[in-house]
Amino acid sequence: MLSYFALITLVKLSGLLIPFIWFLWISNRRWRSWGIIAIVALFIVSYINTYFNLPDLAYPSLIDGWLMWLIMGFVVVVVLRRFVFNPDAVKERSVNEDNFFSRLMRNFGITIGWLGRLVGAAVLAIVILMVLSGTASVITSMNPKPAVSSIKTDLNNSTDGAPMPVIKNSAETPVVNAPQTVSTDMNNSLNSFKNSNVYDLNHMRVQMYNGKMVYVAPVEFSGGFWRYIHYQKVPGYFMTNATDKNADPKFVAKPMRYTPSAYFNRDADRRINAYSMGYTMVGDTSQLEVDNNGTPYYVRTLAKPISYFNRNYDFKHYKVAVLNTVSGKVHVYSPNKVPKFVDVAATPELVQKEVSMFGRYRHGFWNATSFGGHNDVMKPTQAGTEGGKTLTPYAYKGRIYYFTGMTSVNSHQSSILGYAFVDARTNTLHYYREHGNVMTPERAISYAQQDINPQNYKGTLPLLYRINGHPTWVVSMLDRDNNSFMKFVYLLADGNNQSGTYAVGDDAQSTLEIFQQRVGAKTGTTVEPKVTGKTISGTVERVVKPDDKQILFILKGDSHVYRMDTSAKSFEPIFQFIQPGDKVSFKATATDKNQLATASVGLDTYQNQSIKTQK
């Protein structure tokens, strides 16, 4: 890998080649020796700086460096040629010399000598670099069209077909574990392995693992250089289910030698940087993903600018670097050749930039200014968990999507104009226009915190689901002190928090039932659960009737709590006489193993003849 950085350093210093050849041509043997020594010393210093600081290796940055060394090299050679190799020419030119610049300065009483001219040349060189940089900055800002055109987009005039998860019954659970909660739980589980006091958790990534959405967080060195020298590797990583609020972080013992917190050639970012010539490493650091066998890899997106002057990203021609944490081998893939286990090929930071540019500049730069018509100018909402609080990860049909609502740039408006779903693997932006009255996720969080304000919980992870055809915000409420999950809040997206359009509960199933009843009562529709789970048979152990609307019971040898809705059309009067000892058989679905879980009973499958008076 050291040879890669030597090559990178040579590329960065290549601007000195022409001035150095000129220097060798005009200098004597002694000065040639000193010049070679100076170049070698400069190479060593630049090599060390490149190796440790990992500079941006995108072509515009490399060209800037090349121009800087070229100009500086010429200035140095000119100084040496004038003052060292030809000292007799140091005398000041005559004031009668026919030089426009000299005559102009003499009009102000200023006499310019050779030293002044050299200083002026150096200043002029700096001005040229500043002009080039400023020109590139202006073009980058005012010509976003090439970058926007490079975004793979799928535009839809309605939300039909959007990868928006549908919750049809209590068996389907929304994502509940917010990153803050997962991070707290994982840090509380750091004692799962030996010498845990010398490690830490710095970042995590969402991905699919064996068909389930999970969070993966690597263990990293926390004590700096000397801890790394002593231990040389980290013991493994944590994994947590994203949809089970009772899930405990699982530590996976997979020792890793190549990580972002390692040093020298084992630094994951340094190894990837060595393969990123011409590209920018997007994001703060590489992110961990695991394959189906649990083998950990570090993944990083490499973005390419449009051109030297237009430094916006080319969102189509990017690369994905994958590092094996055990062997240290790095492979760089094109987007269509990324290994199947990589769920997030486009890092959230890259997706955030393209979503923002798509919303603002889809119809050009001038349209988005105060001089333009602001046709379809939008901005992403700011209630997400990744990409600068812009994006929230979704799992849909085995794929990870980054979701954000698009709203008006007018701060007085708080409604959704559409939704952006970006496939994290293919980086395809699917936009769906919303024609209904749907509140923004920020507004949903505000309402959710308002509804349970006495507990002073904080809302996070607002996700949009379809429940009985209605767009519904599901907000997870966390304890402000320790980030523990406390409540679910379901809000009808167009309900404006009116009575009957939201529900608060401790678990997804019971909250869904309350929400369906309230929305059904408000809209005049009755929603009954359609239970398609397995058939359950057993003997009733206990029966509780907390109110007139429901009957709860448990079976012998079964920890689940089963619920009958007395207001359902299919409820028969004989069901209310259920008592301990009765033999029952019915269909129900219970996804939560916790003893307080509730499984709704499908009354249409309830076998009446099984209810008998206990003898």
278-292, 439-453, 513-527, 592-606: the lowest-pLDDT one: 592-606
pLDDT higher than 80, residue 343: yes
Angle at Cα 216 formed by Cα 211 and Cα 217, nearest 5°?
A: 175
Nearest CA to 403 out of 424, 417, 378 is that of 424
- Cα separation, 408 vs 193, in Å, equals 49
583: β partners: 539
Work out the pLDDT band at 597, boundaries 50, 70, 90. Answer: very low
Quick check: helix, strand or coil at residue 88? helix
Q: Read off the pLDDT of each residue in 494-506 and give the average, rounded to a whole number.
A: 77
Q: Read off the pLDDT of each residue in 560-577 and give the average, rounded to a whole number.
A: 76
Q: Read off the pLDDT of each residue in 313-342 and give the average, rounded to a whole number.
A: 95
Other beta carbons less than 10 A from residue 199's beta carbon: 20
Where helices occur in 458-523 by DSSP H, the ranges are 508-523
Where helices occur in 84-205 by DSSP H, the ranges are 100-106, 114-142, 145-149, 179-188
Instruction: State residue 411's pLDDT score.
Output: 73
- Cα separation, 504 vs 241, in Å, equals 23
Contact residues for 154 (Cβ-Cβ < 8 A; gap 6+): 428, 429, 430, 431
- Cα separation, 511 vs 531, in Å, equals 16
Instruction: State residue 115's pLDDT score.
Output: 61
Contact residues for 84 (Cβ-Cβ < 8 A; gap 6+): 31
Nearest CA to 306 out of 261, 354, 245 is that of 354
Quick check: helix, strand or coil at residue 68? helix
- Cα separation, 447 vs 462, in Å, equals 12
Contact residues for 159 (Cβ-Cβ < 8 A; gap 6+): 419, 432, 433, 434, 471
Helix (H) or strand (E) holding 485: strand 485-492
Q: Read off the pLDDT of each residue in 357-367 and give the average, rounded to a whole number.
A: 93
Q: Would you give the DSSP letter of residue 336?
A: G
Instruction: State residue 466's pLDDT score.
Output: 82
Instruction: State residue 11's pLDDT score.
Output: 92
Work out the pLDDT band at 176, boundaries 50, 70, 90. Answer: low
* Tokens matching residue 494: 């167009």
538: β partners: 584
Q: Among residues of the chain, what percentage have pLDDT more than 70?
A: 85
The residue to which tokens 């009067």 are assigned = 573
Contact residues for 121 (Cβ-Cβ < 8 A; gap 6+): 75, 78
Q: What type of residue is 128?
A: I
Say if CB 539 and CB 555 are below 8 A apart: yes
Work out the pLDDT band at 297, boundaries 50, 70, 90. Answer: very high
Instruction: State residue 306's pLDDT score.
Output: 96
Q: Read off the pLDDT of each residue in 125-151 and give the average, rounded to a whole number.
A: 91
Work out the pLDDT band at 390, boundaries 50, 70, 90. Answer: very high
Q: Read off the pLDDT of each residue in 233-254 and give the average, rounded to a whole number.
A: 89
The residue to which tokens 């699917």 are assigned = 430
513 vs 554, which has greater pLDDT?
Answer: 554
Instruction: State residue 138's pLDDT score.
Output: 93
Nearest CA to 420 out of 410, 411, 433 is that of 433
- Cα separation, 416 vs 437, in Å, equals 7
Instruction: State residue 169's pLDDT score.
Output: 59
* Tokens matching residue 92: 């000041």
Q: Among residues of the chain, what percentage have pLDDT more than 90?
A: 40
Q: Read off the pLDDT of each residue in 222-231 and give the average, rounded to a whole number.
A: 86
pLDDT higher than 70, residue 579: yes
pLDDT higher than 70, residue 611: no
Instruction: State residue 18's pLDDT score.
Output: 93
- Cα separation, 355 vs 389, in Å, equals 13
Other beta carbons less than 10 A from residue 112's beta carbon: 17
Work out the pLDDT band at 132, boundaries 50, 70, 90. Answer: confident
pLDDT higher than 50, residue 454: yes
pLDDT higher than 80, residue 415: yes
73-131 pLDDT per residue, tens: 988 888 888 777 775 554 544 444 445 555 655 565 555 566 666 677 777 778 888 88
Largest CA distance in the chain: 130
Instruction: State residue 54's pLDDT score.
Output: 92
252-261, 286-295, 362-371, 448-457: the lowest-pLDDT one: 448-457
185-194 pLDDT per residue, tens: 888 888 888 8
Say if CB 344 and CB 400 are below 8 A apart: yes
pLDDT higher than 80, residue 329: yes
pLDDT higher than 90, residue 546: no
Strands 429-433 and 153-156: parallel
Helix (H) or strand (E) holding 466: strand 458-467
Nearest CA to 347 out of 427, 242, 239 is that of 427
Return mean pLDDT, the chain: 84
Q: How far apart, in Å, are the Cα atoms of 443 and each of 130, 420, 489?
A: 44, 18, 13
127 vs 21, which has greater pLDDT?
Answer: 21
Instruction: State residue 112's pLDDT score.
Output: 57
Instruction: State residue 126's pLDDT score.
Output: 82
Please, what is the end-to-end C-alpha distance for the chain in angstroms? 82
Positive or negative torsion for Cα 354, 360, 364, 369: negative
Q: What type of residue is 156?
A: N
608 vs 357, which has greater pLDDT?
Answer: 357
- Cα separation, 420 vs 159, in Å, equals 10
Instruction: State residue 574's pLDDT score.
Output: 80
pLDDT higher than 80, residue 452: no
Instruction: State residue 603's pLDDT score.
Output: 52
Nearest CA to 276 out of 242, 305, 302 is that of 302
Quick check: helix, strand or coil at residue 513? helix
pLDDT higher than 70, residue 5: yes
Say if CB 563 and CB 552 are below 8 A apart: yes
pLDDT higher than 50, residue 20: yes
Instruction: State residue 98's pLDDT score.
Output: 47
Q: Read off the pLDDT of each residue in 383-412 and give the average, rounded to a whole number.
A: 88
Contact residues for 234 (Cβ-Cβ < 8 A; gap 6+): 199, 218, 219, 220, 221, 255, 256, 259, 261
Other beta carbons less than 10 A from residue 327's beta carbon: 9
Work out the pLDDT band at 595, boundaries 50, 70, 90. Answer: very low
Nearest CA to 351 out of 387, 310, 392, 314 is that of 387
Tell me the three-class secondary structure of 158-185, residue by residue: CCCCCCCCEECCCCCCCCCCCHHHHHHH
- Cα separation, 69 vs 73, in Å, equals 6
Name the phi and psi angles at 133, rounded to 5. -65, -40
